[in-house]
Structure 1
Amino acid sequence: MNFSSHTLHSPVAVFDSGFGGLTVLRALREQLPEEDFFYFADTRYFPYGERPAEFLRARCVAIAQALQQAGAKALVIACNTASAVAAEAIRAAVNVPVVALEPGLKPAVELSRNGRIGVLATQRTLESERFQRLLASYGAGKEIFGEACTGLADAIENEGPNSSKVAALLDRYVTPLQAAQVDTVVLGCTHYPWASLQIAQRLSPGTQLVDTGAAVARQLTRRLQAEQRAGGGQGRLLAGTSADPAALADKLERLWGASLPLVFWAPQAVAADVRPCVS
């Protein structure tokens, strides 16, 4: 697929294993409304958090290279797991700006009053070298409580944040943080902001939740401006999936809050010719 065939002009490509990265995309569009965006959900392999690191690294590099070849002028890895496992490999494989996510431990440390900080993330993220470096850099003298939230991203995406399944999982994962008396909690997966209200209800009043979407948007803005790649779009938006678009269209509309064009796309695959809306 060439993005120009979809009336996208050198878009910023944003990708995740599912639709969690839409929370990041929303922040990006608020910061950069004039840019064109292509959002790719690799739903064939959702969720990334339960995949082997070697597979994820190879898969994410293939996606990044294909997005660059299709005409993307910058990449945003809108997934903490993919960022933790594959960011360095992606940067070595492409020659466009790459903005990766990481759990917001640094701002959480700055916000915390009692030095007790919870981190909700996937097991893969918590075990990654990238997260261990964050702990070494910002965790000294603090008590960091990591909770590996197996199944939570899947439940939020497929069942919705108000579902009984999500409630049961939050009871399991958030209760230990409440018991540890944390005053700040890092939302270390892009799906978790959709359940921020439900998470906050299980914590003490005044507990601060840290989401990195706005920080990623600021970093992308800096990179585009520094490399003279900013502008040139018309605010167009198109989404792609490596699974069946027809089976996912309703879910995408529910999560995004509006209708959004969705096409099949994957490395070495050609999507149908669908023109995006301007929203």
Structure 2
Amino acid sequence: MNSRPIGVFDSGVGGLSVLGALRAELPAEDFIYLADAGFAPYGERGDSYVIERTRTVVQRLVQEDRVKALVIACNTATAAAIHLVRAEYPQLPLVGVEPALKPAVALSKTRRVGVIGTRGTLASAKVRTLHDSLKDQAEFVFQPCDGLADAIQNDDTAQIATLCARYIEVLGPFGTQSGQIDTLVLGCTHYPFAQHVLQALVGETVQLIETGEPIARQTRRLLEAGMLLKNEGMGSVTLLTTGEPGQLRSAAARWLSL
């Protein structure tokens, strides 16, 4: 079991941001990254569509690729389907992602937090429950960013800049003064790849939070608990996609030097 790979799944290339953190935390492990790009984007689809695709991808990774653990590196898929995956594969170590609202509360000084994500993620019951548990501790301003994940997926620099500027303007004002947003949660795994654009728009004093490193640490904890950790050697990465292979290879080379 220890020599089996860890599966990492996203609707597209965004989960590569999580894969980078996983490789840094677990350098000896082998990873299979599957981008369901042929059926993306997920974020503007209904739950039934996302659940069906998630089940299909997970079944493939478990039955064909025989992964020993699975990271659902997609906020939308986590919100819609992780509870079903847990029920269907109770023995599988499973890690999902959710917008980092709790860490944002801990860091914010103005108690005003911006959250950007896909429409599906921000409208999900999972995020509503998380928000309800924290709303007395800070004011959250949610902004769905239609089209941004797709623009990052397609490496459309002009569109990324246009959409980031549009959504940040709606969210603002940003800063460290009372009433300003001083912490911005990147609620989609695609968004860290636009972090430099977002940081320039909100200013250097605003903290941007994403979830790659906490996910990697949780994955390590689950592997250790199950005695599944691989400690020796240098791990490998296998890239799979239901879409255009060249797009995934190009993104992996650009962002992870793979």
TM over 0.5: yes
1:221 corresponding residue in structure 2: 220
Q: Which has the higher contact order (CA 8 A, sep 6+)?
A: 2
| CA shift in 2, pair 1:246/1:141, >3 Å | closer
Moved over 4 A (4+): none
1:61 corresponding residue in structure 2: 55
Further displaced range: 229-238 or 54-63: 229-238
- Mapped to 1, the partners of 2:17 and 2:255 lie a distance apart of 9
- Mapped to 1, the partners of 2:205 and 2:246 lie a distance apart of 42
How many residues are matched? 250
Say whether residues 1:153 and 2:149 are aligned partners.
yes
Q: 1:73 aligns with which of 68, 77, 86?
A: 68
2:43 corresponding residue in structure 1: 49
Q: Deviation per CA, 1:103-138, whole angstroms, max 9, x where unpaired?
A: 000000000001000001001011101101110112
Matched residue SS, 1:140: coil
1:265 corresponding residue in structure 2: none
Percentage of matched positions with identical amino acids: 43
Q: Deviation per CA, 1:70-113, whole angstroms, max 9, x where unpaired?
A: 31000000011111111101111113111000000000000000
2:115 corresponding residue in structure 1: 119
| CA shift in 2, pair 1:251/1:173, >3 Å | same
Further displaced range: 175-184 or 97-106: 175-184
Amino acid in structure 2 at the alignment position of 1:253: A
- Mapped to 2, the partners of 1:92 and 1:192 lie a distance apart of 29
Tell whether the 8 Å contact from 1:13 to 1:72 is kept in structure 2 after alignment.
yes
2:257 corresponding residue in structure 1: 257
1:264 corresponding residue in structure 2: none
Matched residue SS, 2:4: coil
1:272 corresponding residue in structure 2: none
Q: Deviation per CA, 1:208-240, whole angstroms, max 9, x where unpaired?
A: 001110000000000000111111774011010
| CA shift in 2, pair 1:254/1:148, >3 Å | same
Amino acid in structure 1 at the alignment position of 2:128: Q
- Mapped to 2, the partners of 1:104 and 1:250 lie a distance apart of 28
Amino acid in structure 1 at the alignment position of 2:101: L
Amino acid in structure 1 at the alignment position of 2:41: P
Tell whether the 8 Å contact from 1:178 to 1:204 is kept in structure 2 after alignment.
no
The Cα of 1:64 is off from its aligned counterpart by 1.1
The Cα of 1:243 is off from its aligned counterpart by 2.2
* TM-score scaled by length of structure 1: 0.85
Gaps of 5+ in 1: 259-279
Gaps of 5+ in 2: 175-179
Tell whether the 8 Å contact from 1:117 to 1:142 is kept in structure 2 after alignment.
yes
- Mapped to 2, the partners of 1:247 and 1:236 lie a distance apart of 20
Q: 2:30 aligns with which of 31, 36, 53?
A: 36
Say whether residues 1:87 and 2:82 are aligned partners.
yes
2:235 corresponding residue in structure 1: 235
Q: What is the aligned-residue RMSD (CA, Å)?
A: 1.8
Matched residue SS, 1:166: helix
Q: 1:134 aligns with which of 130, 133, 148?
A: 130
Say whether residues 1:182 and 2:177 are aligned partners.
no
Matched residue SS, 2:140: strand
Amino acid in structure 2 at the alignment position of 1:223: L
Amino acid in structure 2 at the alignment position of 1:243: G
Amino acid in structure 2 at the alignment position of 1:19: V
- Mapped to 2, the partners of 1:173 and 1:115 lie a distance apart of 20
Tell whether the 8 Å contact from 2:239 to 2:248 is kept in structure 1 after alignment.
no
The Cα of 1:249 is off from its aligned counterpart by 3.3
